[in-house]
Structure 1
Amino acid sequence: MSAVKKPVNVVNVEYAQTGNSVNTDALGMREMQQRVYAQRAAQYLLVKAPPASGKSRALMFVGLDKLYNQGRQKVIVAVPERSIGGSFANTQLTRHGFFADWEIKDEHNLCTPGSSAGKVDQFIDFLNGPDATLVCTHATLRFAYEKLPAGAFNGTVLAIDEFHHVSSDTGSNRLGELLKGVMANSDAHIVAMTGSYFRGDSVPVLSPGDEAKFTPVTFNYYDQLNGYEHLKSLGIGHHFYQGRYTSAIHEILDLNKKTILHIPNVNSGESTKDKIEEVGFILDAIGEVVSQEEDTGILQVRRKDNGEMLRVADLVDDMDQLARAETLHYLSTVASKDRDAVDVIIALGMAKEGFDWPFAEHALTVGYRASLTEVIQIIGRVTRDSPGKQHAQFTNLIAQPDATSDEVKISVNNMLKAITASLLMEQVLAPNFTFKAKTGNDDAPKPGELQIKGFKEPSSDRVKQIVATDLNDLKATVLQDETFVKQAAANADPETTNKVLIPKIIRDRYPDLDESQVEELRQQVVVDSVVKNGEVKNVGDKRFIKMQDKFVNIEELNINLIDSVNPFQRAFEVMSKSVTPGVLRIIQDTISSNRIQMTEEEAVALWPKIQQFHKVNRRRPDLRSEDQTERRLAEALLFLQKLKREREAQGGAQ
């Protein structure tokens, strides 16, 4: 293989390696687990914490306390897929100082081969029997709920792992319907756990009323990664390709790194529609397949470049279910403990949630992922602490927009959404700040605190709660808004971004807030985003923050100055430097064409003038021209191009 190219990173964060998040106390609890255990008396507990922070064991601690000290009789743990059930296997907690061990009898581990519906009788027998703990899939829980009244969950602790699978849209989400019914019609205690609270769609996980009943415990990515012993930095970036991704995979696949490679969904534009053939192309890019182990399914592949043997796991080929089950078992048992057990994992829909391969260094994902949750889950596969792993990398391999393609709009949208997902991760991975209003009679700011003139602090418990536990989720909502993304990418006026678009999104997400609360929350979003995007430097005894290529004295920060910055612009600037000028123009023109106010009659009438302009000037009219007439001709040309593409897509080419 030729020299591998480095991805263009939108995010590159370094951490302090304090060891705090992985060290344990006298009860065997990590920092995050201590925070959760402190709230163990809550009836409804919502735990937001990143992958590898120890959510599974946190649930064990809380569940056992509720069994021994709070009068609960049963603990039911529901996971989204069978492979995650292993996270809740028997665990000797007393060895590390806790008062009881976590035990699951074989007959109460329902995350075994077989249909989810077929295990409902075992679930019901458990509820009626003497034993206290059970693990099942979300599907088994849903099927059981269809046969049981909500009152059957009286006396239980219901723990739902990967809680973002729930939706407040109970008409189309059966897990959400179950949760609502159990909360309304039983005395069940609920522990909800997730590493990424926001869903891929715009539907909230919980309604505001139900969410208010939960006691939240938040442990963010910065807390987690800053407290590791080994991992020092994380990069999140992109690599753009033209044509088929299979001909470009060798440009970015670094075989010297332990890699999880996710190929695109077969329904996406990046897919060749033949997933088996795609795996073949990837294997060809690596080298020569020499053999396959019968007992593990692992492929032995000799590298093209240096002749070394690599161990590759193919989780895409599902023709032999038994063989794939053996490979998964090998990955979850041997490969999770032995660094040399596997080098590359090729997957499609697997190896995301709950998949534990601590040695993974590079998550290479082909094609934009529609769900921000999925992006965070994939990144979580490489952010586990492991000896010898100093840097973790997530790279999104994305198709460059092509002006000759009928899918240029889709391609542009995918690129913009991939950039905004990275921008959100930058916000998630940065340290938290506390913001206070600067009045002139202030004490010296505490560590991590910034004082801002004209800043409106939260005045109600509701806004304080959103700021404390929901700010990143609100940013996710902002960055999933199509209007916002296109305005930000097109260098929208900061005042429009900050004072029109963001408040509208806040009103839609939190209809219970009045205008004063909306403004308080808007300021939190903008200030937090600007500060996290900015570079902070100490010069002597003063601190400066970089805003729009200028360093500003932090003591002189005021809300008007911050509002003059588009906080979400930097990622698009990174993108503009990593694609060719021609591709950047395609992106800008596609965005602009969606905002043009023009009738078909006017555009057709201007066509002769467009032709004349081209003949005289030997170029197309420029949308960025200072001449108003030329700009209008450029708008007409974009309008006609868009109209032609739409009609060709409908089969009515003119």
Structure 2
Amino acid sequence: MTSNIFEINYNGTGASQSNNALGMREMQERVYAKRSSQHLLIKAPPASGKSRALMFIALDKLHAQGLKKAIIAVPERSIGKSFRSTKLTDYGFYWDWEVLSKNNLTEQGTSKSKVKQFVDFMHSESPDDRVLICTHATLRFAFEQLADSDFNNVLLAIDEFHHVSQDDNSVLGNALRNILANSTAHVVAMTGSYFRGDSVPILAPEDEQKFDKVSYTYYEQLEGYQYLKSFAMGYNFYRGRYTDVLHEVLDTSKKTIIHIPNVNSGESTKDKYDEVDRILDELGQAVPDPKTGLWLVTEETGRVLKVADLVTEEGREKVQDYLNKMTSLDDLDIIIALGMAKEGFDWPYAEYALTIGYRQSLTEIVQIIGRVTRDSSNKSHAQFTNLISQPDAQDDEVFFAVNNVMKAITASLLMESVLAPNFKFKRKDRDDQKSSGAEMFVKGLKEPTTQRTKDIIENDMNDLRASILQESRIQTAIASGTDAEVINKQMIPAIIKQIYPDLSGAEVEEVRQQFISQSVVQSAERKEGVGQTDFLKMADKFVNIDELSIDLIDQINPFQRAYEVISREIDAPTLRLIQDYMDGQKMEFSEEELLILYPQIKQFLNENGRHPDKLSNDTYEQRLAYALLQLSQMKLKMENGND
């Protein structure tokens, strides 16, 4: 049975789908307001209209801002079709988007010839050579043959920006860094998933600060749909072979995308073709359709399913050609894929994503979810289910399996923060200040006092959440049910300090309080009370929404629901192993943690008139005591002249 970590309901306002007088959707209008920015970072979900938003900006820069050329770089050829010529004037805009066939390098041609065409385009003085579409790879190779100054007065737009890394091994990352530093180029970066915590950061902090940011949240997108009213994300655990439990999670009445596990993952049987065969056998009696390349699968009821196999290389081009030409609801029922049917793939009727095995990348999860969260009249609900191998205490690799489960569960917590509404938290100083809608008043809350903390709170909270949730110590703390105060007051501020080393202690605390408030309130169940009073259900208690205080919030584990799923789905011996492991780790501290804990030790001494006790029954006090011991040992070493 699938355990949903969260389910979010939407009001279907239609706002994200309606156009203004210039033919712009809500997100595109927001982006266009920033069209004069030299460096612009656009964060918006799949299907929100980022491609057309870029067309609007590029045309304004070419016609009204005096730039001479616009280059659009996409990660793969298939996404290039999103930027084909479009009659924007038909919808009220000032100019049409026109791309000459010779300048669309995502169409047929060799890599070598495309690089030459790119270089020729950059050096061309022809007024026809204004817009060029290419892949990231073509841009990367062409950059090696061009000077940084060649990009002067040029718009460089990078679609699906999360493919770019600032890692030294990333040629495209280095190219971008050089263009930012050594040219007058205008740079627009677009992504549906911009998580620093995903792997290597995309931009160095000093480069990122050059960018103006436009964010359009997943919640805004889905809240503004017409048909889709809810989305849920959950997990199903199994033992043995995953193909033997598919009947528990498959619902063939739903338009479904099944992503089988990577061959290197623990869930894989190491034979992807056999896995496809077993899935087809589970569905019914399968026969190939030579005309379309699909499998026609007859269920026991006699119903015939149309199934696309994107795993098997032989015949895949025919299947892809069929998928590209689909127009109606009945054209397809199920897709079986491995590395495909993610980024750039559009099947608006899809409503159920069944993903087997833990996914390493948050970006990949976002892209998979994006396949089933298109607005379509055939669905009111969309579901993402992750089928994961259940850890076994008798298995030698139990900690590896537990680690994968934790990463999957914490990924869902991050996705909840993206898909759910965001709240604005303010300090409550008067009784007449009442929480309403997205505005929440909290007693004792420290509001941001510097521009730095304001920027982090306004623009970086999802990135910060990703970084925190991907920390192994946080994941272990969640799995072991670590005390809320330890997570909130010790572990989280230490990670914030690690991510933002330039912040003062007071600034760290401002960011921490906002992060904890957002995490706790966002995951709380909201109930209407008598009159106009609303209540939040937090840690099995109902709290008047107008009586929230930071002291109360700090007593709540922001990841409580994740722990509840783990404790329900993982057997007792395995849970005991996790908890024993955490017990062995919880009294070890990084330098960042010690910096955070030192003022807390002083505060404890002032309030209690004694040092914290290692034998205390209170975990928070125990940690303070062990931190004091480690600090004393460090001080002794320094006094003795030891490093």
Post-superposition offset of 1:447: 3.7
Does structure 1 residue 478 correspond to structure 2 residue 473? no
Structure 2 unmatched runs, 5+: 587-616, 618-643
CA displacement 1:412-446 (0-9 Å, x = unmatched): 11111111111111121111111111112765555
C-alpha distance in 1 between matches for 2:317 and 2:69? 31
C-alpha distance in 1 between matches for 2:330 and 2:131? 35
Mean CA deviation greater in 519-528 or 454-463? 454-463
C-alpha distance in 2 between matches for 1:597 and 1:533? 27
Give the AA of the match of 1:224.
Q
Give the AA of the match of 1:236.
M
Give the AA of the match of 2:318.
E
- Tell me which residue corresponds to 1:91: 86
- Tell me which residue corresponds to 1:155: 153
Pick the aligned partner of 1:172 from 169, 172, 189: 169
CA displacement 1:364-417 (0-9 Å, x = unmatched): 100000111111111111001011211101000000112332221111111111
Give the AA of the match of 1:138.
H
Look up the SS of the partner of 1:87 in the other structure. Answer: helix
Structure 1 residues 117 and 490 mapped into 2: Cα distance closer, same or farther (>3 Å)? Answer: farther
1:200, 1:370 within 8 Å by CA — same for their partners in 2?
Answer: no
**Off by >3 Å, runs of 4+ in structure 1:** 113-118, 199-202, 441-447
C-alpha distance in 1 between matches for 2:442 and 2:68? 51
Does structure 1 residue 282 correspond to structure 2 residue 272? no
Percent identical among aligned pairs is: 56
Does structure 1 residue 465 correspond to structure 2 residue 462? no
1:490-505 equivalence runs, <5 A: 490-505=480-495
1:363, 1:378 within 8 Å by CA — same for their partners in 2?
Answer: yes
CA displacement 1:1-60 (0-9 Å, x = unmatched): xxxxx5211111110000000111111111000000000000001111111111111001
Look up the SS of the partner of 1:272 in the other structure. Answer: coil
Give the AA of the match of 2:281.
D
Give the AA of the match of 1:193.
M
Pick the aligned partner of 2:296 from 300, 310, 324: 300
- Equivalenced residues, count: 583
- Tell me which residue corresponds to 2:540: 549
- Tell me which residue corresponds to 1:562: 553
- Tell me which residue corresponds to 2:248: 251
Give the AA of the match of 2:150.
A
Give the AA of the match of 2:479.
A
Look up the SS of the partner of 1:395 in the other structure. Answer: strand
1:489, 1:569 within 8 Å by CA — same for their partners in 2?
Answer: no
Structure 1 residues 556 and 507 mapped into 2: Cα distance closer, same or farther (>3 Å)? Answer: same
Mean CA deviation greater in 584-593 or 545-554? 584-593
Pick the aligned partner of 1:68 from 50, 63, 69: 63
Structure 1 residues 358 and 588 mapped into 2: Cα distance closer, same or farther (>3 Å)? Answer: farther
2:480, 2:582 within 8 Å by CA — same for their partners in 1?
Answer: no
Structure 1 unmatched runs, 5+: 1-5, 599-625, 627-654
1:117, 1:139 within 8 Å by CA — same for their partners in 2?
Answer: no
C-alpha distance in 1 between matches for 2:452 and 2:111? 40
1:222, 1:429 within 8 Å by CA — same for their partners in 2?
Answer: yes
- Tell me which residue corresponds to 1:236: 233
Post-superposition offset of 1:541: 2.1
Mean CA deviation greater in 360-369 or 75-84? 75-84
- Tell me which residue corresponds to 1:613: none
Post-superposition offset of 1:101: 1.5
- Tell me which residue corresponds to 2:329: 339
If the length of structure 1 is used for normalisation, what is the TM-score? 0.86
Post-superposition offset of 1:519: 0.8
Pick the aligned partner of 1:330 from 287, 308, 322: 322
1:412, 1:587 within 8 Å by CA — same for their partners in 2?
Answer: no
1:193-232 equivalence runs, <5 A: 193-198=190-195, 201-232=198-229
Post-superposition offset of 1:597: 7.3
Structure 1 residues 114 and 284 mapped into 2: Cα distance closer, same or farther (>3 Å)? Answer: farther
- Tell me which residue corresponds to 1:109: 104
Structure 1 residues 445 and 407 mapped into 2: Cα distance closer, same or farther (>3 Å)? Answer: closer
C-alpha distance in 2 between matches for 1:149 and 1:119? 18
Mean CA deviation greater in 13-22 or 418-427? 418-427
- Tell me which residue corresponds to 1:420: 410
- Tell me which residue corresponds to 1:262: 259
C-alpha distance in 1 between matches for 2:261 and 2:337? 9
Give the AA of the match of 2:469.
L
CA displacement 1:456-497 (0-9 Å, x = unmatched): 111111211111111011101110000111012211111110
Mean CA deviation greater in 133-142 or 107-116? 107-116
Does structure 1 residue 515 correspond to structure 2 residue 505? yes
Post-superposition offset of 1:251: 2.1
Mean CA deviation greater in 461-470 or 524-533? 461-470
Post-superposition offset of 1:155: 1.8
1:114-133 equivalence runs, <5 A: 115-129=110-124, 130=126, 131-133=129-131
C-alpha distance in 2 between matches for 1:447 and 1:391? 24
- Tell me which residue corresponds to 2:566: 575
1:50, 1:194 within 8 Å by CA — same for their partners in 2?
Answer: yes
- Tell me which residue corresponds to 2:376: 386
2:308, 2:336 within 8 Å by CA — same for their partners in 1?
Answer: yes
Post-superposition offset of 1:584: 4.2
CA displacement 1:189-238 (0-9 Å, x = unmatched): 11111111015644322122111111100110110101000001101001
- Tell me which residue corresponds to 2:574: 586
Give the AA of the match of 1:146.
E
C-alpha distance in 1 between matches for 2:259 and 2:110? 26
If the length of structure 2 is used for normalisation, what is the TM-score? 0.88
C-alpha distance in 2 between matches for 1:500 and 1:597? 14
Does structure 1 residue 78 correspond to structure 2 residue 76? no
CA displacement 1:582-607 (0-9 Å, x = unmatched): x2431341352354379xxxxxxxxx
1:401, 1:587 within 8 Å by CA — same for their partners in 2?
Answer: no
C-alpha distance in 1 between matches for 2:452 and 2:321? 46
CA displacement 1:107-138 (0-9 Å, x = unmatched): 22222345545420111122223311111111
Pick the aligned partner of 1:138 from 136, 139, 161: 136
Structure 1 residues 115 and 407 mapped into 2: Cα distance closer, same or farther (>3 Å)? Answer: farther
C-alpha distance in 2 between matches for 1:93 and 1:7? 45
1:116, 1:137 within 8 Å by CA — same for their partners in 2?
Answer: no
Mean CA deviation greater in 108-117 or 473-482? 108-117
Pick the aligned partner of 1:353 from 340, 343, 346: 343
C-alpha distance in 2 between matches for 1:371 and 1:412? 17
1:370-449 equivalence runs, <5 A: 370-440=360-430, 443-445=433-435, 447-449=437-439
Structure 1 residues 440 and 351 mapped into 2: Cα distance closer, same or farther (>3 Å)? Answer: same
Give the AA of the match of 1:112.
E
Does structure 1 residue 452 correspond to structure 2 residue 442? yes
Q: What root-mean-square deviation, in Å, do the aligned CA atoms of Structure 1 and Structure 2 show? A: 1.8
Look up the SS of the partner of 2:335 in the other structure. Answer: strand
C-alpha distance in 1 between matches for 2:216 and 2:111? 32
C-alpha distance in 2 between matches for 1:588 and 1:370? 26
Look up the SS of the partner of 2:372 in the other structure. Answer: coil
Give the AA of the match of 1:544.
F
Structure 1 residues 134 and 553 mapped into 2: Cα distance closer, same or farther (>3 Å)? Answer: same
Does structure 1 residue 49 correspond to structure 2 residue 44? yes
Structure 1 residues 172 and 447 mapped into 2: Cα distance closer, same or farther (>3 Å)? Answer: same
- Tell me which residue corresponds to 1:526: 516
2:196, 2:467 within 8 Å by CA — same for their partners in 1?
Answer: no
Look up the SS of the partner of 2:388 in the other structure. Answer: strand
C-alpha distance in 2 between matches for 1:309 and 1:99? 49
C-alpha distance in 2 between matches for 1:443 and 1:573? 34
